[in-house]
Amino acid sequence: MRHLLIFFLLILTFSIPVTAIPPKKPVKNLSQDEILRQKALRIQRSAIVIDTHNDITSPIVDDDYDLGTPSVGKYHTDLERMQKGGMTGEFFSIYVSRSYAKEGGASRRALDMIDIVYRQAERHPEKLVMAYSTADIRRAKRQGKIAALMGIEGGHAIENSLMALRSFYRLGIRYMTLTHSNTNDWADASTDEPRHNGLSDFGKEVVSEMNRLGMLIDVSHVSDKTMSDVLDISTAPIIASHSSAKALANHPRNISDDLLKRIAKNGGVVMVNFFSGFISQEYIDARKVRDEKLKPELEILNQKYKDDPKKLEEERDKLFQANPLPKVPLSVLMDHFEHIIKVAGIDHVGIGSDFDGVPDLPTDMEDIAQLPNITYELLKRGYSEQDIKKVLGENLMRAFAKAEQVAQISTRQVSGQGSLKRLKIEKK
């Protein structure tokens, strides 16, 4: 009986049709491009990704815009697209227009913008967290949040006061662009008449005090001589928060190869600006021709809306939109990354988009959600995952950490008189 049972079980087992075993699903053959894009997204998700210059702060203040509101087609930045772009840390620009240097109220404007960054973080605590250090940035990464940092754009915001500089640091400012497009009372700008042959004596004090505080010194917008003076003085790595290579596009805002090499020797980082008008010589030349052609109409607008800056900007934008400039391919932007890598080294380049501060961006880099395209393009050009992570954020983290270290170990003592010193401006 037992043998019969075994016999029937064997018959039953071997009589099961092979088709009862589900066939394996065919594996889709991915193209090399698809494999590369998937790898780029994986790197982007795992990396520390930092953009050192985003001007969305101005629309938040002036237009009552909220980062939680989708803004495709209007702005380059919102929280949803920041997450898509893989952002770890964003330096919100505390931009103070040169008009405040003439009319007054520069520090107040900076305070208003600082306050709005804090309010955005309070409004969106599940996505955004205030950060003040490299440790805070890495903590935000572990929490799956975006670290909100701040940098002042325009040294006139301190109103010639080291006390104001220290106060801004206490409020969370972690870099300051020494000038904007205007030469101020202590530093020459790249696009204005020089008055100090670089840095004045007080300007040198500002640099030393920033080193003591652990505030990164930003040389975007400054003249070559100012940049050289900073490199002579600074004991911590400096940054260019949003600059590009002058060898590829001859704009005064861009950095020469000689200065790129000096920044590398200093341990600093040049964060590449995305604006078409800073990276494409073809665009720069076409813009000159267009602006000359439109000069009479622009003069009429300037006169008509001289008391209404916002309306003037709107009308100028309409005029420019009716006279478009050539679109710049993404490859041109990537050429700036690669040139700085070749001249200064892989440890000295990063991302400084200038999103929401510029009118035109390259194809496939029209907003912050497209940041993974940088990773993809670097992979295409043969860069390793380790090197790409340096460009995405680790280079900035190294320079920032060194600035923190310099501040901690500094033995420089500031006397009571020196710490309270305020620049005396001679009346003309």
- The yes-or-no answer on residue 251 being catalytic is no
Question: Which of 76, 156, 196, 242 is the catalytic position?
Answer: 242
Question: Which of 51, 55, 315, 360 is the catalytic position?
Answer: 55
- The yes-or-no answer on residue 193 being catalytic is no
Question: Which of 196, 221, 251, 336 is the catalytic position?
Answer: 221
Do residues 160 and 141 lie in contact, with contact meaning Cβ atoms separated by under 8 Å?
no
Q: How far apart are CA 201 and CA 213, in angstroms?
A: 19
CA angle at 404 for the pair 271 and 257, rounded to the nearest 5°: 30
Q: Which residues contact 52 (CB under 8 A, 6 or more apart)?
A: 91, 151, 175, 239, 241, 242, 271, 350, 351, 352, 396
Question: Which of 159, 209, 229, 354 is the catalytic position?
Answer: 354
- The yes-or-no answer on residue 55 being catalytic is yes
HSE, CB side, 13 Å, CA atoms: give it for residue 251: 24
- The yes-or-no answer on residue 53 being catalytic is yes
Task: Calculate the alpha carbon distances from 101 to 84, 96, 110, 242 in Å.
Answer: 37, 9, 12, 22
- The yes-or-no answer on residue 339 being catalytic is no
Question: Which of 156, 180, 336, 339 is the catalytic position?
Answer: 180
- The yes-or-no answer on residue 78 being catalytic is no
Q: Which residues contact 241 (CB under 8 A, 6 or more apart)?
A: 52, 53, 91, 151, 153, 175, 177, 218, 220, 271, 352
- The yes-or-no answer on residue 153 being catalytic is yes
Task: Supply 254's token pair.
Answer: 């861009």
Question: Which of 51, 78, 90, 153 is the catalytic position?
Answer: 153
Do residues 400 and 54 lie in contact, with contact meaning Cβ atoms separated by under 8 Å?
no
Tell me which residues are annotated as active site.
53, 55, 153, 180, 221, 242, 354
